[in-house]
Amino acid sequence: MGYKLDKNTILIQKYISEIIQFDIKNKDIGFVTVTHVSVTNDYSYCKVFVSFLDNKFLSSRLQALENVKGIIRSKLANKLSIRKTPQLIFILDDSYQKGQEVEEIFKKIHENESKSK
């Protein structure tokens, strides 16, 4: 990735976070964090990885984001100084939950080793 694409990827992540937090007034979304953004080299597509504060109603929250992505994209276009504003693809980032599951597995293994000694 080139320097300009890296810089714009960071800006896109920052702007999308700000737009969702301050401009989108949808209670169905709740508290969302943009954890990572991946932009194609030609700025056609942008994968936006998001996580939510709690794990309730994830599919409906993700659908609520999908419903307002046109608004997010138009506000993003106003903030960016690039010719093409990418199509947004929202993806649930479940790395935190997977990390918690791995942590639980390690804890159980450690407890079993402690009991067997």
Alpha carbon distance 82, 38 (integer Å):
16
Which residue in 4, 12, 30, 5 sits closest to 79, CA to CA? Answer: 12
What domains sit in the chain, N to C, each tagged with a CATH number? Answer: 3-116 (3.30.300.20)
Q: Tens digits of per-residue pLDDT, 99-110? A: 888 888 888 888
Q: What confidence score (pLDDT) does residue 24 get?
A: 94
Give the predicted TM-score (pTM) of the model. Answer: 0.83
CA separation for the pair 73, 76 (Å, rounded): 5
Segment 76-81 shows an average pLDDT of: 94
Q: Give the pLDDT of residue 95.
A: 80
Cα–Cα distance for residue pair 86/47, rounded to 1 Å: 9
